[in-house]
Chains A and B, each alone.
Chain A
């Protein structure tokens, strides 16, 4: 039996009938064709499926689609506006923080959730914020630098 859910995805209202055992990740990837969130493990171990649910980064492989009913979901597809990269995305591109890119959507969303609440994070705060997002390619250094750069770019913009 399917359940009717209504939620906001990247600012747009979405209504759908879903099976109870469908995860939010499956719902986003397969039903809404938002394939930016990645399936890396299915068990909340890697963070590749991270999306922002009501302002907080979560592993969408461990959230049921029905649990997202009435809530607001931000995926990586919802970050760039009118083809212009979000400052965090731009910093990831500029700093070489992206290699294979499979962790990138989750990593950027974890960074966004951090910078939304902490505009001047320390290095350890950044590392803690992305500690649930595994990256095997970069050794994290350029990711951390990109987030630092993005924080500066974003506060600079607000200040001006």
Chain B
């Protein structure tokens, strides 16, 4: 039944040759004549009142073209969710963390801009600060925002089913707590942007972002420019992973400085500033109880979350909802209660990062599941299989699993890792562990409340009919979305992949919410398919008249046109085409009319051939408060088995083997799917074993570098056995759904469960440094 010409292959990525030769342009590679360089003044203290800002010396410095503060920028509030717009471009009354932006300078070169920043004098009245999420929510704690007393950005209280009553019916209730640490996305490209106002007063911003659309809207709102006058172009982006999903003060400063100076302005974050801007993974505290029957059937889950949000909300409301909603699956539950709080602290704001809101709570839950299986004497893989949901079921919190190869994933990693011969049979110091997870394939709703389409796509055919261009605002940030869209367009039009060009990442091309919540394959993919279908239909309509064949009987395949499944008598059309192309040396040949000839004919009759497509999900989710967060047209899922070696004398952990299975619906490009899976595991391994953003007692980051904030090197990451499990997702284009985030879900708990298997010690705090594990092993030795 599966008969694809292009999809399901291993296609080399469209952007790879340019990226392999250094020709690919990233924001920092762009220059313009007359370009100025900007720099930011950021708060050196964690909490304080601004008494006075004196920019006079900076303005007088030779080479300085502009200095802007809240006075010039205005005080338009912005953020991610309109319900919690709690930021202004520059601080005016208060600074709330070390790194809070106060002013920006544009100068003829970076050296001058940085010197000018040093010359801005700010008088502060330092205020007591709070850095711990639990302390922040206590009475009497220093308050960050007057509008949000108690330092609570958001709290969630949800209950599905009768948790208390069901817990009472359980044979066993097991508890677990878990504490993760603030993570950084550590993409290798620091944020960079170049803003330029033209003489008509229209703004173009070239920026390293995941979301050109949202950046366009935020910049327009904050700088009070009509949305239509702002064009955001995303060049190549050196990784995002979540934190590049919102407009930054860097981008807005560059735009403002360009407006003030009438010159192009470039601005970059240093690596340290990337850490200061953050918007990366929150710190999570999780507390859970799982109630089960003797036979391992899960009945009820109680889940509590506390999140350290830093000084502003960013994506935080969604984050704290996700920590609850994403435990609704992939196991059947009859009741679930969730209470979550997100606290403000005087640290950089946290936002969305790969596996948004779900990673830490998944880690806690999958450990709890293992703990429970252990107490019941059931193999943890068997317990997972016993409770796993199947396609067509909905979670207790009303998330609809329209496809779900969870069981197939578990079986694949069980068999692929030789689990049955290893579990419980490895020598001390060696361990094996498993875990599962699932994730949305695109958020069900946009970040701002709107009936907007989530994706629109324009497909244009060149006048000679030979090349098809996909125009989209979607964001290729390294995940391979351009190639995915080209493949969908090629498949739909029945033409070879080489005939498709993709122009993306530009708000002029189309509306697209961007690369976050693993949405582009499903949503932009849908829109691309629809646009291609429109083009196909238009060509077929023209052909049907000329060939006297019903358009429904015209098909396109491998660059050829088929009439009722055969070549048909197209000689007249071919002669016409060749006549048109007199002097050219590439006349079409072959036994079939080509797509090129057909599309040319359609152009001659209809003018430039353009097809448009659009996508927005249907109304999804329940009617309860917060029901929107966690909804998605589809869900991807993963299972993993990890094997570790623990050095019992030092506590050092080596991850030896990882077996990973992911259900991504149809794997449009197998190579890219594996790449997302392997990259997810690497990020999960880093978060599990090494990564933690650390602060000193005054709220300054002490490891804001890639030397001291440790992401895995090539020597730390093992080869992964990647197993792609394909289901047919009814809501996805050609049955496709996500892979970029779901794949990270099981990694941390699988490693932790393996460490337990190796040592008998359950670690419930990240990262599992050698010291943490060693001390825990010592502690266990002491206990009888």
Contacts and interface: CB of A to CB of B under 8 A. Distances in A.
**A touches B (Cβ under 8 A):** yes
Interface of A: 29, 34-46, 48, 75-77, 79-80, 85, 89-90, 92-96, 98-105, 108, 124, 126-128, 130-144
A102 B239 contact: yes
B683 interface: yes
B22 interface: yes
A99 B679 contact: yes
A99 B13 CA distance: 9
List 3 A-B pairs, minimum CB-CB distance, nearest first: A36-B22, A100-B478, A102-B238
A98 B20 contact: yes
A156 B28 CA distance: 38
Given A43-B271, A136-B239, 15 more contacts: A40-B189, A45-B271, A46-B271, A85-B21, A89-B20, A94-B12, A96-B12, A96-B671, A99-B239, A99-B479, A100-B188, A100-B238, A127-B715, A134-B188, A141-B717
Nearest to B680: A139
Interface in B660-708: 671-672, 674-675, 678-683, 705-707
B770 interface: no
A102 B717 contact: no
Given A134-B188, A134-B713, A137-B478, A108 B707 contact: no
A40 B268 CA distance: 11
Given A136-B683, A140-B682, A98 B16 contact: yes
12 contacts: A41-B706, A42-B271, A45-B271, A89-B17, A90-B20, A92-B20, A96-B675, A99-B479, A104-B20, A127-B714, A132-B713, A134-B188
A127 B719 CA distance: 11
Contacts of B190: 39-41
- How would you classify the secondary structure of chain A's contact residues: helix, strand, loop or mixed? loop
Interface in B517-556: none
A85 B188 contact: no
Given A43-B271, A92-B20, A136 B711 contact: yes
A45 B16 contact: no
A76 B706 CA distance: 23
Given A93-B16, A98-B19, A101-B15, A128 B715 contact: yes
B134 interface: no
Contacts of B12: 93-94, 96
A124 B21 CA distance: 26
A100 B189 contact: yes
B28 A39 contact: yes
B752 to A, nearest CB: 19
Contacts of B28: 35, 38-39
B678 A45 contact: no
Q: Among B12, B19, B190, B674, which residue has the most Cβ atoms of chain A within 10 A? A: B19
Contacts of A36: 21-23
Interface in B1-55: 10, 12-13, 15-17, 19-26, 28-29
Contacts of A48: 188-189
Interface in B229-243: 236-239, 241
Contacts of A132: 713
Interface centre among B29, B189, B241, B674 (most CB of A within 10 A): B189
Contacts of A44: 707
Contacts of A100: 187-189, 236-239, 477-478
Contact of B17 (A46, A75, A85, A141): A85
A137 B270 contact: no
Interface of B: 10, 12-13, 15-17, 19-26, 28-29, 185-190, 236-239, 241, 268, 270-271, 477-480, 671-672, 674-675, 678-683, 705-707, 711-715, 717, 719-720
Given A42-B270, A96-B671, A102-B238, A77 B681 contact: no
B19 A104 contact: yes
Contacts of A133: 714
Nearest to B709: A45
Nearest to A89: B20
A136 B187 contact: yes
Contact of A141 (B26, B188, B720): B720
Contacts of B683: 136
A39 B15 CA distance: 20
Contacts of A108: 20
Contacts of B680: 139
Max count, chain B CB within 10 A of own CB: residue among A80, A89, A108, A140:
A140
B677 to A, nearest CB: 8
A101 B271 contact: no
A127 B682 CA distance: 14
Nearest to B189: A102
B678 A142 contact: yes
Contacts of A126: 714
Nearest to A140: B714
Given A101-B24, A138-B679, A43 B707 contact: yes
Given A93-B13, A100-B188, A138 B238 contact: no
A140 B717 CA distance: 7
A45 B477 contact: no
A4 to B, nearest CB: 21
A102 B236 CA distance: 9
Which of B10, B270, B719 gathers most chain A CB within 10 Å? B719
B188 A103 contact: yes
Contact of A139 (B25, B268, B720): B720
Given A102-B238, A137-B675, A45 B705 contact: yes
Contacts of A134: 186, 188, 706, 711, 713
A75 B13 CA distance: 23
Nearest to B658: A139
A75 B22 contact: yes
- A43, A105, A126, A139 pick with most chain B CB within 10 angstroms: A139
B26 A77 contact: no
Nearest to B677: A139
Contacts of B21: 36, 76-77, 79-80, 85, 89
A142 B188 contact: no
Contacts of A137: 239, 478, 675, 679
B662 to A, nearest CB: 13
B186 A136 contact: yes
A35 B25 contact: yes
A136 B237 CA distance: 13
A144 B679 CA distance: 13
Given A41-B271, A104-B19, A131-B714, A99 B675 contact: yes
A103 to B, nearest CB: 5
Nearest to B670: A96
B714 A143 contact: yes
Contacts of A80: 21
